[in-house]
Amino acid sequence: MENQNNVTEFVFMGLWGNKQIELLFFFLFLLCYLAVLMGNFIILLTITRSHLIEQPMYYFLCHLSIMDLCYTSTVVPRLIRDLGAARKNISYNNCMTQLFTAHLLAGVEIFILVSMAFDRYVAIVKPLHYMVIMNRQRCNLLIFVAWGVGFWHSIALLLMVLNLPFCGPNQIDHYICDVKPLLKLVFACTDTYITGVLAVANSGMVALVTFVVLFVSYVIILFSLRHHSAEGRHKALSTCGSHITVVILFFGPSISAYLRPPTTFPEDKVFALFYTIIAPMFNPLIYTLRNTEMKNAMRKVWCQTLFSKEAHN
């Protein structure tokens, strides 16, 4: 069949068909988005205005907060707008842009989480060599690699989707432009088996392999804690516990959504809420409420800010 594209815009079917429920979630997701902005901005300001920025773990956490802010801003504002709109439409070009940007930022975030796990591995397994191994140059290299891998992951998906012939329906059974809902639109136009397998290999296998690597690294970390003091074990478990919680919130739904044949289910939209809204909203709470060093830095930074304002007035 000739590769033709008759679609100039797509229409999201959204999360629910009930208008009253959508209006309720309009306000709920608006509050969640404000919580994401406020929580991650607090983390950014606290780290950049304190001594914590000198530590590799918080340097990576700073970049993770930036990714959360950018990633949610790529998806959630349009979702909130569509929940209150009569027609949930998006142009073809904007759809492709959202697909590329969302997967780029998600890919970068995945490898920042890997970098944070590597940082904890070195800190606990090789503490005497920690500052030599995790110097600022190597931290910058890990961030650069994360952006490079995220770019190649997203550009590969984008090129696959751009080659699809959208010749018929334009209603996407989702609230974002993603590979599987878009593949569903071209079933009647062309054979999508190879593209579907490549999409699963690109997204699903990357998520699974990364999760396995993270899981193995934390098993090694927990195993090595046997030789630490009780205080050291408590501090390390507290930090690693935060990381493991974030990894489960992000990778659990991602693997469920992407690591299976290219078919769509209603549950996919619920899974997507976890890695587009819920995980970015809970990340600041997870990394602050369970982290004494972070809480002390927040008190110091915000007290200094208040005192400086009073002195200025």
Average pLDDT in the chain: 83
SS3 80: helix
Question: Measured between alpha carbons, how far is residue 193 from residues 121, 177, 199, 251, 273 in Å?
Answer: 40, 19, 10, 25, 27
Strands (E), 152-216: 171-172
The DSSP symbol for 89 reads E
Mean pLDDT value across residues 73-97? 89
- Parallel, antiparallel, or unpaired for β 9-12 and 171-172? parallel
Residue 310: pLDDT above 70? Answer: no
The separation between CA 195 and the C-alpha centre of its own chain, rounded to angstroms, equals: 24
pLDDT of residue 2: 44
- Parallel, antiparallel, or unpaired for β 89-91 and 9-12? antiparallel
Report the predicted TM-score, pTM, of the whole model to 2 decimal places.
Answer: 0.87
Question: What fold is seen in the domain 9-311?
Answer: Rhopdopsin 7-helix transmembrane proteins (1.20.1070)
More confident residue, 306 or 94: 94
Question: What percent of the chain has a predicted confidence (pLDDT) above 70?
Answer: 88
- 89-91, strands of its sheet edge to edge: 89-91, 9-12, 171-172
Highest mean pLDDT among 66-70, 207-211, 238-242: 66-70
The DSSP symbol for 196 reads H
Residues whose CB falls within 8 Å of the CB of residue 232, separated by 6 or more in sequence, listed in order: 225
Q: What tens digit of pLDDT does each residue of 186-213 get?
A: 776 777 777 777 877 788 778 888 888 8
Question: Measured between alpha carbons, how far is residue 80 from residues 129, 214, 249 in Å?
Answer: 48, 33, 22
SS3 216: helix
List, in sequence order, every residue forming a beta bridge with 90; answer none if it has no partner.
10
- The C-alpha angle 71, 164, 178, rounded to 5 degrees, equals 20
SS3 9: strand
Residues whose CB falls within 8 Å of the CB of residue 6, separated by 6 or more in sequence, listed in order: 166, 167, 168
Return the number of other C-beta atoms located less than 10 Å from residue 21's C-beta: 12
Burial of 199 (C-beta count, 10 Å sphere; 0-12/13-18/19+): buried
